[in-house]
Structure 1
Amino acid sequence: MTKTINAVLQEVVPPASRTTLKVTVVGVGQVGMACAYSILQQGSASELCLVDMVADKLKGEMMDLQHGLAFAEVRETLGCLCRNQAQLQ
């Protein structure tokens, strides 16, 4: 019976993938990183973008999150540096 069911119910088209959801976290302080970490753990987004004005802190926090990407559903983490307030508007 199992062979018959498997023969009849073969997958013709691969299942549809989830829609792409991109999330941007502005500021990589304690609250921003807590939000980013929660997004990674819950798989709430397929892409995560971090924005901050301090390049070294942004790079360090982004690298910390990228170490955990192997265990998360987020495919990509991006970092973006804003040098002044005008770029945020």
Structure 2
Amino acid sequence: MKPEKTTPNNWPGDQVRDALAEVGITPAGIARDLSVTPQHVHHVIDGKSVSDRTRRHIARCINKPVETIWPQTYLLKKDPTRVGRPRTKGLYPDRS
């Protein structure tokens, strides 16, 4: 029997915020850098929204590979650059 490959879980939003605070960056600062709303950055950090551009900027700010912070997206999916709401959330999670 083959051992199952397991992928580590994504970092919780609090862990991402703590890592940003350690380097002195706020989600509002990231929003200004990317010309997006602070709500957008908070939604990405909390996993309510997916934005490859925002995730990569956050990873660069805290000096971590994006695959370390969000392994569920970047190690499992064929095209992690697709943006939008994660399929596991929303009104109709059973639809594909």
TM-score (norm 1): 0.31
Structure with higher strand content: 1
Between structure 1 and structure 2, the one with the greater Rg is 1
